[in-house]
Amino acid sequence: MLQTLSQQNPLKRRLVMLALMLALLAIVTLPSGAAVHAQDATPRDTRTWTDPNTSATFTFSTPDIFNSCSTRGDRIYTVGMQAGWRLQGTVTVRQPSSSQTFFVIPIDQSGDLDLLVPYPPVSQWQNNISNREIHVDLSIVVLDANGLPVSWIGDEPTAPGVLGPRGQDWDVFCDAPLTPNITIKKYTNGADADDPTAAGVPLIAAGAPVTWTYRLTNIGPVDIPFTEITVTDNIPGVSPVFAAVISGDLKGDGNGLLQPNEVWEYSATGVAVDLSNPPGGQGLVLNTNACQQGNANEPGRTAYTNIGTVVIPNTSASDPSSYCNPVGSVAVAKTAITAYTRTYTWEIAKRVSPAVVNLFEGQNANVGYTVQVTRTGFVDSGWQVSGVISVTNNSAVAVTLNSVTDSISGVGAVSVNCPATLPTTLNAGATLVCTYTSALPNGANRTNTATATYNTNSTATGTAAVAFGAPTTVVSDTVSVQDVYNGGAPETLATNITGDTSIPYTRTVVCGSNLNYVNGVATYNRLNTATIVETNQSANATMTVNCYRPSVSKTVDPDFTRRFTWQIVKTVTPSQIDLFDGQSATATYTVTLTKSDPIDENFRVFGNITISNPNPNAALNLSGVTDQLSNGLNAAVTCPALTVPAGGSLVCTYETNVPNNADGANTATVTTTLGAVYTSPVVTYTFVGVQPSQTTLNSVTVTDTNPASGQPWTFSSSGSQSYQLPFACVDIAYNQNGLYQTAVNNTVVITQTGQQSTAIVNLTCRIPQATISSVCTAGVRTWTVTANYTGAYVAEFLVGGNVQSTTNLNLTANTPATFTYSGDPTTLSGVRVTFNGNVVASESGPYESCAEAPSVTLTPRCTNEGLLWQVTASRTGSYLAQVVSNGSVIEQTTLNLTANQSQDVAFTASSYTPNSVRIIYQNVQVIEQTGPEPCVDGLSAALAPRCERIGAVWTVLVNRSGNYVAQLMSGTTVIESRNLTLTDGLDVDFQFENDSTAPRFVRLIFQGAEYARQNGLNETCVPTALPPAEEPNLPQFDKFIYLPTVRR
């Protein structure tokens, strides 16, 4: 190498000298007790000298002449160097004929020497026909503390202070170079997978990353240089590169050799293809009847197979490996919600006792009625079933969902409604929810089966039992009974009847004077009808009443009294009120009374009074007989008895004055013990201008069942009374459908007669209905709510099911309104909307953050202080840096970052691979990066740019062999990368296709960490006009080493 230094430009000569110096420094700093190199088994020549001035001894050991085909090199070392002494000189590795020099290693150090002398490959040794040979020359001077050569006695008295020339040079011979041999084993994502039909072949989804590894084993007897190893793959675009040493010495030990039994690993990456529709033109090797995972009964699918090959001089080896795509599948689940209506049936019967009643005029009797209501059973109808069908892709790949059908046993196919048009793509983990509804012929148990067809002919089913429980709608489970007597207004006998019920009640029959008596006899019938209101079923009972009127005859003047009758009717407007919860309304009730014309009676006269009894069955008992004259005087009546025999008569006498002096006739009045009053015919008497002696029901009092109506009222003439009552839907217990319905009865009664009338208001209360949903709008989670009723609502924000805070909403019917949460929506478990304390809509969390995450970069760097991570974010703010090991955070620290300004962070815990570092912003992870390999202790590297005719050229020099990456950077952005395979001490030139002038810079990466960084040239390189022979040369510097600025 030194032979060519004078031919290189000054910068390159400096870099070469730097490499030699770095190698020497790494060697001479080893302690004297360092582990012995494997080559120390070589025969050695070890000699000891003594300084005559100090009697200090000094031992120098070198290899002796020996036979070996190894190219790892051999060690020379000293023992016993005195303080202040130095070693200066060279070690030269060359062909014995001096036709070629391979290495010249300068020696200039204090302390003991421990140096590994490298050998070139055996193919470069001097060919002696019968063997190959390499020679090593030593020329090393020992200087004392004053810089003077040390004089020796003992072994080398004639060569004071000089080590090497007298017999300690050595030769190495290789008599019979052996043939190298090598094997390769290829893996796909860590699996051998030689046979694409066998178990263990990896299943990789289309588009997922694939890593191929190639393990090389030296199975021969000799070393194989790194430069003679070529690893390829039969698939275009798959390019294996060296990745790691699996066993044996490190590749970076300085010799770049795959030694016997050592194992190296290469790797390549790619993306899995869709084997169901593989791309063309990529040279793919496809096995069409594979992927059975060792199960010969499993139908075959297409497998991907590629072959890795290693080539060395004279031989090669290959090994295949395969992968398959996973199979898609779906699961079907469904619900079956049943409903039907139950209508109860009833019967009604009615009877009366006695059926025939005989009474005197004015007599009354109570007649007993019984209504029998019987619940005979029920009839069920309106059977139906409805529900949802959920189709879930439970595989790792998307499937094509072709159809979703539904069938009910004994019924057949049922129409299904899906939110997407089929066929459609169902991504991995996604669920499509469809609905169905079907009427059923009866309530028999059935099985409801849903079937999903996906991909080509694959199907999946889900079933649900169709079973009926309690009815969902009940009709006529309770009934009311009304009664109509003699064509009058209906009267309610009973309500809320739930079973067999007997209803006894009485009616009073009266033989009034208003009947049409013929020969003293009047007969009438009474029809009574009871009706079930809900079913309109009815039953009748008929009764016959025979009334007998005694006759009175007399002489002259009558006497009379006056009375009135009344009719009462109650109405309400409106009779049907429908309200939302919290609303109120007013109903107006009106009570109307009608007064009859006056009735005059009981005129009294004096004279003979004859009372005849037409009742052949009973005697007529009298309570009194009166008489009145036309002059208005009451007559005193005398009767021989107060009993008129059946079919007979009784004669009494009377004497009275007419109360007025008007002309008239005399009239006798007979009163029976039953209260009936009879008068004689008018006999030549008139009562012109005479007022009645008694007036009955000239005014009445009316009461109302509602105390708030302002009653009682007094009526003395026909008229009406109105009042209002409020109805409100407040503190209502609603049913599951949000409804409440009731009938409100209100009755008025005439106190004097017992007459009454009822008005009914049917009240319906409802809870409003609403919907709610949320989306991210401009980085803020926004809820939208729509209600079917205008009013005041409350939005409640829930944390763990408890109300955290609320906001008031004034909603307009069927008009969407939006609102937001003042806190962090990601902490909410749900949001609900209430109306008057009733929940009308809700949405369950959790909620994802709507904040847009900043972009963040992470760059690991190896420094003298250890591994540092450089963090750069696009947004100013507080961040959390975490070290993660096996999924757990083992260390974290808070960073206050400024936008686009880098900041270094160091961790106490290990952030090397396999651990990773991640950055959290506002509880959201924005980046995670696996740590690099551990920083290599003692690794030094240098970068230097220069201008050549072809443009900017970069030179790199390292003191450890391996695979490096040179990256052209602009800020935190990688503009271009170059993969470099570097050897300890050998400088390498490279170029970038992109401009590498400042402010851009170049950094050198080894095992994921940065070891060197150099700014680009300040100006763009301009080609020189001078030919190479005329370029100026720098002076020769034999005793100086120029070191560029090196950043570790």
- Range with the poorest average pLDDT among 471-475, 561-565, 790-794: 561-565
CA distance 241 to 22: 27
For residue 362, give every residue at least 6 positions away whose Cβ sits within 8 Å of its Cβ, in sequence order, or none: 510, 511, 512, 513, 672, 674, 675, 676, 677
Q: Is pLDDT of 30 > 50? A: no
- pLDDT tens-digit profile of 294-349? 888 877 888 888 899 999 987 899 999 999 988 888 999 999 999 999 999 999 99
Whether residue 626 contacts residue 668, with contact meaning beta carbons closer than 8 Å, is answered with yes
Number of CB atoms found within 10 A of residue 32's CB? 13
Q: With pLDDT > 70 as the criterion, what percentage of the chain qualifies?
A: 88
CA distance 826 to 851: 11
Q: Is pLDDT of 178 > 80? A: no
Fold of 770-844: Immunoglobulin-like (2.60.40)
pLDDT for 300 equals 82
CA distance 598 to 592: 19
Residue range 349-367: mean pLDDT, rounded:
89
CA distance 364 to 510: 4
Q: Is pLDDT of 262 > 70? A: yes
679 vs 576 pLDDT, higher one: 576
Residue range 87-95: mean pLDDT, rounded:
90
CA distance 911 to 790: 60
* Position 442 confidence tier, pLDDT thresholds 50, 70, 90: very high
Residue 898 structure tokens: 């400024």
Q: Is pLDDT of 739 > 80? A: yes
Q: Considering just the CA atoms, what is the radius of gyration of the chain in Å? A: 61
- The total number of residues written for the chain in this structure: 1048
Fold of 856-930: Immunoglobulin-like (2.60.40)
- pLDDT tens-digit profile of 608-660? 888 899 888 889 988 888 777 767 777 788 899 999 998 889 988 876 666 66
pLDDT for 872 equals 92
The arrangement of secondary structure in 346-370+474-551, i.e. its CATH architecture, is Sandwich (2.60)
Greatest CA separation for the chain: 200
Whether residue 1014 contacts residue 945, with contact meaning beta carbons closer than 8 Å, is answered with yes
Coil, strand or helix at 16 = helix
Q: Is pLDDT of 95 > 50? A: yes
* Position 163 confidence tier, pLDDT thresholds 50, 70, 90: low
Residue 739 structure tokens: 């409804």
Query: For 13, phi and psi rounded to 5 degrees?
Result: -60, -40
Could you tell me which CATH class the domain 187-324 is placed in? mainly beta
Whether residue 797 contacts residue 804, with contact meaning beta carbons closer than 8 Å, is answered with yes
Number of CB atoms found within 10 A of residue 258's CB? 26
Q: Is pLDDT of 8 > 70? A: no
- pLDDT tens-digit profile of 538-583? 999 999 998 988 888 877 756 677 889 999 999 999 999 998 888 8
923 vs 699 pLDDT, higher one: 699
Residue range 921-930: mean pLDDT, rounded:
86
Is CATH 3.40.190 the right assignment for the domain spanning 941-1030?
no
For residue 782, give every residue at least 6 positions away whose Cβ sits within 8 Å of its Cβ, in sequence order, or none: 774, 775, 776, 818, 819, 820
pLDDT for 604 equals 62
- pLDDT tens-digit profile of 106-124? 999 998 999 888 888 777 8
296 vs 380 pLDDT, higher one: 380
pLDDT for 855 equals 86
Q: Is pLDDT of 105 > 80? A: yes
The DSSP result for 867-928, as a single string, is EEEEEEESS-EEEEEEEEETTEEEEEEEEEEPTT--EEE--SS--STTSEEEEEETTEEEEE
CA distance 522 to 512: 10
- Bridge partners of residue 475, in order along the sequence: 343
* Position 153 confidence tier, pLDDT thresholds 50, 70, 90: low
pLDDT for 404 equals 94
Per CATH, the number for 330-344+378-473 is 2.60.40.10
CATH 2.60.40.10 residue ranges in the chain? 187-324, 330-344+378-473, 346-370+474-551, 856-930
State the residue for tokens 């469809």: 434
CA distance 758 to 569: 8
* Position 736 confidence tier, pLDDT thresholds 50, 70, 90: confident
pLDDT for 36 equals 34
Q: Is pLDDT of 1 > 50? A: no
Residue 510 structure tokens: 């009266």
pLDDT for 786 equals 96
Average pLDDT, the chain: 84
Nearest residue to 175 (alpha-carbon basis) of 68, 260, 313, 65: 68
pLDDT for 664 equals 65
Coil, strand or helix at 123 = helix
The arrangement of secondary structure in 31-174, i.e. its CATH architecture, is Sandwich (2.60)
